[in-house]
Amino acid sequence: MLAEKLLLNVLIILLPIFIHSVLFDNKRVGKSPYLCGVLQSIAVFLSLAFSFEEGGLYWDLRYVPMVLAFLYGGRIAGVMVLFTYLATRTFMGGDLLLGYASGFLAALIPFLFMKKFWTFDAKKRIRTTVLVGLWPSFSMLLILLANIFLNDATAEDTNQIMMNVGIFGAIQVFAVWVAAILNESLIEKDLMRKEILRAEKLNTLGELAASIAHEIRNPLTVVKGFLQMMHKQEKGDNYYYLSLVLTELGRAESIINDYLNFAKPQFEKLEDAELAEIITEVTLLLEAFAAKEGVQVNVQLEWGIYVKTDRNQLKQALVNIIKNGIEATDEAGKSTSARSRPGMNHIL
């Protein structure tokens, strides 16, 4: 009978956690210690209201919300629950001195563990919560033993009380364990949500950085090409400065290339682009570079060929291909070709 009545208290203990899980994602109140304090205070009140009397004693899980409030809600939530317990206990009457003493004793250990609690990992926090949750059972056992000794209880009454204490302790540990697991699941859910948001921000930042690097590299190639032509013709005092500028431009280009090679290509702005127009733009960009290398770029275009692509990324890919072709041209053949011609399922 006692076990059945205490299982009702278990549901009362778990109810605030379920309500908290609904409100947890709300930034304003979800993680507020006041919300935790209010919910656990309601649990304390209901636990006392649905106490079960047996053997002249009242059995309930009134101390579990206090443990959870101090450990998971902090000092504010814990104090709110403690005062709710004291006020309810005063209203109910009975042996107030014993009620107050047991309440403060039940709050003592979780209050002392409160700061160190959050230095533990999730599994250790669950174990700590269960162990701290045993403290009210232990303190109640001491009080009952003192009561048995002072009232000179019979052996039968003593056995019944001890059996009830065992049932009470087991159910209380179970309630604390389940409540701790549910609280940790809420914390893990919040951490996962934060990690997802952080990953999304990093992904957006990476895409933005790759886009900026991509846009910078094309004009950088043009500037470098013309500077190389000027450097080749310069014989005065500016020769050294142009050499230094070209060195730094080469270093910047190398950094951008390394980053773009690392970044994953993103095709976000697909459009119908005329291939001949893109090739023309690319060859104009590389004209200075080809002249420096002594290579003539022959362009054979067939207009009216459209491809669905990201224009900028295709342009960058063609820059890389034609530039590689220029660099790979040997001394015997000083020309490289770029052409557009439709095939069966591809473009040459």
CATH value at residue 35: 1.10.1760
Burial label for 59, CB within 10 Å (0-12, 13-18, 19+), is buried
Picking from 148, 173, 200, the residue at the C-terminal end of a domain is 200
> pLDDT tens for residues 304-325?
788 888 777 788 788 888 888 8
Question: What is the C-alpha to C-alpha distance for residues 117 and 130, in angstroms, rounded to an integer?
Answer: 12
Cβ atoms of residues 235 and 224 within 8 Å:
no
> pLDDT tens for residues 11-40?
888 888 888 888 776 666 667 888 888 999
Mean predicted confidence (pLDDT) in 166-179: 85
* 80 vs 160, more confident: 80
Range of the domain at 30: 2-200
Q: Are residues 165 and 297 in the same domain?
A: no
Q: Are residues 43 and 189 in the same domain?
A: yes
Picking from 152, 168, 200, the residue at the C-terminal end of a domain is 200
Please indicate, yes or no, if residue 189 is contained in any of the structural domains: yes
Q: What angle do CA 226, 244, 222 make, to 5 degrees?
A: 20
Q: Are residues 323 and 178 in the same domain?
A: no
Please indicate, yes or no, if residue 233 is contained in any of the structural domains: no
> Which among 44, 87, 39 has a CA at the least distance from the CA of 66?
44
Q: Are residues 172 and 274 in the same domain?
A: no
* 55 vs 11, more confident: 11
Question: What is the C-alpha to C-alpha distance for residues 115 and 175, in angstroms, rounded to an integer?
Answer: 23
The predicted structure's pLDDT at residue 152: 63
Q: State which H helix or E strand residue 31 sits in.
A: none
The predicted structure's pLDDT at residue 263: 62
> pLDDT tens for residues 70-123?
999 889 999 999 999 999 988 888 778 877 887 888 888 888 888 888 888 889
Structure tokens at 333: 């053949």
Q: Are residues 191 and 285 in the same domain?
A: no
The residues with which 307 forms a beta bridge, in sequence order, are 273
CATH of the domain at 320: 3.30.565.10
How many domains, the chain?
A: 2
Cβ atoms of residues 326 and 290 within 8 Å:
yes
Q: Are residues 69 and 167 in the same domain?
A: yes
Burial label for 129, CB within 10 Å (0-12, 13-18, 19+), is buried
| pLDDT(346) > 60 | no
Distances 226 to 214, 231, 289, 323, 334 between C-alpha atoms, Å: 20, 8, 8, 15, 20
Cβ atoms of residues 126 and 67 within 8 Å:
no
Please indicate, yes or no, if residue 301 is contained in any of the structural domains: yes
